Amino acid sequence: MNVIEENRRESISTQLFSSANEASLIVAQEIVELIKKNEQKGKKTILGLATGSTPIGVYKELIRFHKKDGISFSSLITFNLDEYYPISHKHPESYYCFMREQLFDHIDVPEEQINIPDGSVDRSKVFEYCKNYENKISELGGLDLQILGIGRTGHIGFNEPGSTVDSRTRLVHLDSLTKKDAARDFLGEENVPRYAITMGIGTILDARKIILLAWGQAKSSVLAGAIEHKPSDSLPASLLQGHSNVQIYADLSAAGELTRIKHPWLVKLMEWNPATIRAAVTWLSQKVQKPVLKLLDEDYSECGLSDLLTQDGPSYDLNIKIFNEVQHTLTGWPGGKPESPDEYRPERATPHPKRALILAPEPLDDVIGMGGTMHRLVDQGHEVTVAYLTSGNLAVPDTDACKAAELIIDLAKQCENGETAESRFAQRSWDELQSKDDFAIDTDNIRRLKGLIRRGEGKMACEVCGLSADRVRFLNLPFYEKGKYRQFMLNNCDIELVVGLLEELRPHQLYITGAQAEPSTVQAVCFDATKRALDNLADADWLKECYLWLYRGSSQEWGIHEIDMAVPLSPTELGNKVQGIYQHQTQRSQAAISDKRTRDIWRQAEDCDRRLGAAYDQLGLAEYEAIEGFKRWCTRA
């Protein structure tokens, strides 16, 4: 379904979709239509293609059109936007391999009509090579359509901030955030090539039509900047505003920072409801920097909220109403306060104790999102279980696996004076690690060893957060254990494992995350698995009584108005949570974005909880060191 709203602040035409799949199908259809139209005129279609997770859905649909509907792509000539440099075609993370795996090996574009910048060209010839790439596009009459994703720096192709509007195909240096984002694919940031060959912004702008795709909350701020801010080379995607035929397709999570979604009252006449009223009043309080209870009628009318005053005013009444609502989200009793009135509490008083199940896509998601709350639940006597849906083994660097193997081998030598079954396993893993080709897929032994390392980290982190290690479960969902980044595919046995766990534990509270994550991430796939498991259990009586709570993901921040339960943390509790996060030693090099800079994911979690605490304080509520926020989730929304 298309959600068309007031978009007058948007300088690029943007269509919103409830899911990436829906939008991907439309883009694929558009490509097929274009090819057919050109074929009728006896012309070939010149198509610019992108890599990354974003266009994968479009490629899947194109493959489906080819295999199921017999659509031929023989009249298509493709030009890829970019390629890492230096990199060989054989490198599994080269865009060459990516395009083969994701598209070209499955459709009938003739080999000689495929163009991907060559990351292995001799350095002395790169300039010439780039000029020829440009010439080839223009000799063919230019690109009919260019498909784009957007990077978290706002880059298109590999045109990082600072790229100018007239830049052409060239060799560029990669931004540090871009390298951090690519680190998972390359199994460590140190392995990410430092350079890339990319079409320039000028090259892209020469296309007759441009479609930019964006999915997931991680893209929301950069996307809003590209669409609503003045064009600037510090945000390369914003330079698309200078093109007369650009279309952006975004899912609702990626569109979350657009004015029409975030602050709709600024761009349209509102039909106010409790959620939008709360959003508007908390926004106003933050905007004029006054506590909610001090907002005046003038503040409302000067900031475009006079219709809200007319409907629900005066400000005195509105202020009290919203202040109380926000106040009622705060609780030190995330499992409900026993023997206390619970009319205004986010959780019910009974039953007590509750069975609380925390589902974490990977070890670490749980402590980042709710390490403090986990501790409270345990302290307050609830029966807490943490279940890791995947082992997270793909994110363990080889060096950590080597260290663990060494330890086991040495231990056997010292204690047993020789070998044990464990040390033989460790020795095999060690040998396989030593003979592993760069970027080769890990063997089963290595993955098992890496999974065990994360298991240990997960258990230790839970112990630090008050939960005994024997309350930690590992589901090892097959989609992950047998899969690869960007290519995870859920199947029935994944769902059945989640259903099995839910039925066994029948929790009163279920904590989950990943609702707004980019669709190819582990978090999004796990969320999907949980959602499907819950759909299967829709008739279960226990589920009707179960509260579903969403906790935030590692690089996710929620607006105060979105939060239904806010659990304050004292300085000691926050410190303890950070200690819990530190137990995930193998994840030390992960980074998240904060204020446009990269920041250690450990510190980021702390900052984020502190910011939420400060936001409550600013609204005139009590001043806490930090807060963990939760949203109530309704499966049938």
Q: How far is the CB of 56 from ligand GLP (least distance, A)?
A: 8
**Which residue's CB is nearer to ligand GLP, number 95 or number 323?**
95
Closest contact distance (angstroms) between CB of 54 and ligand GLP is 3
Q: Which two tokens stand for residue 216?
A: 């997931």
3-class DSSP assignment, residue 396: coil
- Label residues 426-460 b or e (16+ Cβ within 10 Å = b): bbebbebbeeeeeeeebbebbbbbbbbbbbbbbbb
Q: Give the chain's radius of gyration (CA, Å).
A: 26
Calpha distance 393→439 (Å, rounded): 15
Q: Which residue, 53 or 587, has its beta carbon nearer to ligand GLP?
A: 53
Of residues 12 and 358, the one with the C-beta less far from ligand GLP: 12
Rounded least distance, CB 192 to ligand GLP, Å: 10
Phi, psi of 574 (to 5 degrees): -65, -45
CB 213 within 8 A of CB 58: yes
| Beta-bridge partners for 510 | 357, 548
**Whole-angstrom distance, CA of residue 161 vs CA of residue 154:** 7
Nearer Cβ to ligand GLP, position 157 or 193?
157
Terminal CA-CA length for the chain: 15
Q: What is the dihedral of CA 178, 218, 264, 567, to 10 degrees?
A: -130
Provide the 3-class DSSP secondary structure of residue 592.
Answer: strand
Least distance to ligand GLP from the beta carbon of 72, Å?
A: 27
DSSP 196: E
Distance CA(278)–CA(485), nearest Å, equals: 39
160 is catalytic: yes
Q: Quote the CA–CA distance of 521 and 103 in Å, as a whole number.
A: 20
CB of 338 to ligand GLP, least distance (A): 45
Q: What are phi and psi of 548, to 5 degrees?
A: -100, 125
> How many residues comprise the chain?
637
CB of 99 to ligand GLP, least distance (A): 12
Query: Helix 444-464 crosses helix 571-582 at what angle (to 10 degrees)?
Result: 160
- Tell me how many degrees the CA angle 266-272-275 measures, rounded to the nearest 5: 95
Nearest distance, CB of residue 50 and ligand GLP, angstroms = 5
Nearest-approach distance from CB 170 to ligand GLP, in angstroms? 14
Sites of contact with ligand GLP (CB under 6 A):
50-54, 81-82, 149-151, 157-158, 178
Task: Give the residue with the Cβ less far from ligand GLP, 12 or 277.
Answer: 12
Q: Which is nearer to ligand GLP, 26 or 254 (CB)?
A: 254
- Which CB atom, from 152 or from 584, has the smaller least distance to ligand GLP? 152
Minimum distance of ligand GLP from residue 605's CB (angstroms): 22
DSSP 596: T
197 versus 368: smaller Cβ distance to ligand GLP: 197
Q: Which of 58, 48, 59 is nearest to 208 (CA)?
A: 48
**In this complex, which beta carbon is closest to ligand GLP, that of residue 34 or of residue 517?**
517
Nearest distance, CB of residue 518 and ligand GLP, angstroms = 6
User: Any idea which residue has 């009290």 for tokens?
Assistant: 320
Alpha helices in 339-491 (DSSP H): 365-379, 398-411, 421-435, 444-464, 478-481
Q: How far is the CB of 233 from ligand GLP (least distance, A)?
A: 17
Alpha-carbon distances of 148 from 27, 182, 470, rounded to whole Å:
11, 17, 47
Among 83, 93, 160, 257, the active-site one is: 160
Rounded to an integer, what distance in angstroms lies between the CA atom of residue 497 and that of residue 485?
Answer: 21
Nearby residues of 135 by Cβ (< 8 Å), 6 or more positions away? none
Shorter beta-carbon distance to ligand GLP: residue 79 or 333: 79
CA pair distance 514, 528, nearest whole angstrom: 9
Q: What is the largest CA-CA distance in the chain?
A: 83
Residue among 48 and 580 whose Cβ is closer to ligand GLP: 48
Residue among 82 and 228 whose Cβ is closer to ligand GLP: 82
DSSP secondary structure string for all residues of 282-346: HHHHHHHT--GGG--HHHHHHTT-HHHHHHH--HHHHHHHHHHHHHHHB-S-TT--TTS--TTSS
- Which is it for the CA torsion 254, 257, 258, 260, positive or negative? positive
At residue 362, the 3 state secondary structure works out as coil
Q: How far is the CB of 158 from ligand GLP (least distance, A)?
A: 5
CA distance linking residue 434 with residue 437, whole number of Å? 8
Q: Which residues contact 415 (CB under 8 A, 6 or more apart)?
A: none
> Which residues form the catalytic set?
160
